[in-house]
Structure formats: structure tokens, C-alpha cells
A = this chain, B = another copy of it.
């Protein structure tokens, strides 16, 4: 594994009782994959101090390059992600003056717009600027709580708000430019076959043959059920390598080999799609 390894930690009771669907996770893994990063694991936990610190400590212990956390940065009593980070890293919590300045500018602008009546740094607001020692606050253009970047050994830990608009803004504005320079990039090429009249158990030995010839190609079949008495499957072939020309060559060749094996087994390849990237 020479790719940069990411893990995601989503924090929030609402994600584990079904009140809110974790769309942040899908967005994050898509962005990270497009940049060439490898997402190894994603964990969703409750607003629970011990869970937050345990899960983060385990992730750092696995040598994860980037731990991306979302949720639990707000002012209320159950927003405890940063306390969890401080506990995991055994660091003090302290008021971060850069974070205070960011928030003051934000509140001043809200007061000017008439949305807010005062910009005093109340205890609830100071809480959002109280970060584990050594943190760098990341500007939140869409809300109050700044994002947080803190490093521990070889791991970088990023904490983002749970509100999707704020999470995406901080990720895109503060992290992407940095990650795009630092993530070890692979070039992916993918070929998708839309197949009918073959079921997965008949397809399976054919996939094994393709994999023997093209071990660098990742193959995954997605059964789409039976439509009008005809079984449908999508098969996704993907190759990721440092050399983009070679990854395309192998993905396409593997797709052609599989197409002819399917035809030999009386299946029908209805359509083939190719795409640069994960497809």
C-alpha cells in the first residue's frame, strides 16, 4: 500500500437512530477517492466522549495518515468531538486566539446583516474556539464553528462540522488545495459492463479467470435483479496505477476478455461504459 490512507469518523446520535442519513460520509469518500486517496475505514459513533477518544486513538494506532472527523463542533453540551480529540491525544483544551478572531469577524458580519443582535463572545461561543493545544483552526465560511487541524506523530486529524454545507466548505476551501499537493496520486481507469442473461453464480468463475490474467484490475459485480424474466448485472472493472496509460490499457483489456467469456456463457453484454477515474 503506497497510497495515502484515510479513515473517517462521523460523530452524532442522529446518525445512529435514523433521524439523519450520513450523506457527509458518501461525499467525503468520493472526494478523497477522486484525489487518489485510499479510504480504509469509516466509523460512525454517538456523542460520547469515551467512544470519540477510543475510536480516534485506535485509528492513529493503525498508522492512518489522515483521520477526518465530522460532527460535534457546535456550542451545545453534546458537541464534544474536540474534548474527545484532546483526551485521545492527552492535550489540554485552550482558547485559540485565531479561532476567536475568525468567529468575531463572522458574528460582526451577521450583526451587520441584522441576523444577530450582538457579537459578544459568550461562554457558548468561546467553547467553539476552545481547541486541543497545537490545533490550527480552519475558517468556516458557512457557519460559526471553525474546523480544526491537529497533528499527532505521522497522523493528521481534521475535525469538520456535521452541517453538510459547512463541512463541504471547509473541506473544499482549506483542505483540498493542501491534500491535492500531498496525497500520493494514482491514476484510475474504469470499465463498466451492463450484462443480462447471466446470474452471478455463473459469472463468478469467469471473473476468476479475468483476475488470473489481470491481477492489478479490481473487479466487482453488482446484481440488479430480474427484469421481465431477464437477470441483469453490472460489472465494474477498475485499474489504479501511477502510470495512467497503463491503467487504462489493463482495464480495457480485462473488460474485453470478460465480455468474450460472458458471450461464451450465453450472457449478453448490452452496453459498455469507460471512464477516467473510479467510474
Contact = CB atoms under 8 A, between A and B. Distances in A.
Nearest to A113: B229
Interface residues of A, number: 75
B115 A208 contact: no
A221 interface: yes
A51 B43 contact: no
Contacts of A29: 15-18
A132 to B, nearest CB: 20
Contacts of A26: 18, 21-22
A74 interface: yes
Given A13-B218, A220-B13, A225-B165, A46 B40 contact: yes
Q: Most B CB atoms within 10 A — which of A16, A34, A123? A: A16
A236 to B, nearest CB: 7
B278 A115 contact: no
Contact of A204 (B75, B218, B225): B75
B16 A117 contact: no
B39 A17 contact: yes
A16 to B, nearest CB: 4
Nearest to A23: B21
Interface of A is mostly: mixed
Interface string A182-204: 00000000000000000111111
Contacts of A22: 22, 25-26
A42 interface: yes
A46 to B, nearest CB: 7
A144 B225 CA distance: 11
Nearest to A76: B204
A105 interface: no
Given A202-B124, A208-B77, A33 B18 contact: yes
Contacts of A30: 17-18
B124 A201 contact: yes
B74 A200 contact: yes
Nearest to A17: B33
A51 to B, nearest CB: 7
Interface of A: 13-23, 25-26, 29-31, 33-34, 39-46, 51, 55, 74-78, 110, 113-117, 122-125, 127-128, 142-144, 163, 165, 199-205, 207-208, 211, 218-223, 225-226, 229-231, 236, 266, 278-279
